[in-house]
Amino acid sequence: QGQVTESGGGVVQAGGSLRLSCTASGLTSDGYAMGWFRQVEGKEREGVSCMTWSGGRTWYADSVKGRFSLSRDTAKNTLYLQMNSLKPEDAAMYYCAACVVVAGGLILPKTPSHWGQGTQVIVPS
């Protein structure tokens, strides 16, 4: 059964950077894609980015293109999200999970989904 643990969130001023980490087990193989989702209380969870574990392909939501970057360390089963030029609208709880990308580039969680506790990102306005 898959498990994920997210870390790296915090408070950062607008324009600053953070790097989130996600350590995964049971979900990282060349047949999987892993990514990040975020959710603001009261709103639907949004797919932010997704990467094939082989590293061959990466997708980003339009709202973060050019600012966020995915990478992974296969030896550590860890996925990273480097977030630069953060904006107040990036503030959310961030989760990692296995992902799929459907027509139009929409990033969705792969079902069944294995969610961790998430890591909070706060960007004061």
What confidence tens digit (pLDDT) does each residue in 83-119 have? 999 999 999 999 999 999 998 899 999 888 888 899 9
pLDDT at 37: 97
Share of the chain above pLDDT 70, in %: 97
102: left (phi over 0), alpha (psi -120 to 50) or beta: beta
CB 94, CB 121: distance < 8 Å: yes
Instruction: Calculate the average pLDDT of the chain.
Output: 92
pLDDT, tens digit, for every residue of 26-42? 776 667 899 999 999 99
- Half-sphere exposure of 50 toward its Cβ, with a 13 Å CA cutoff? 20
pLDDT at 44: 95
25 pLDDT band (50/70/90 cuts)? confident
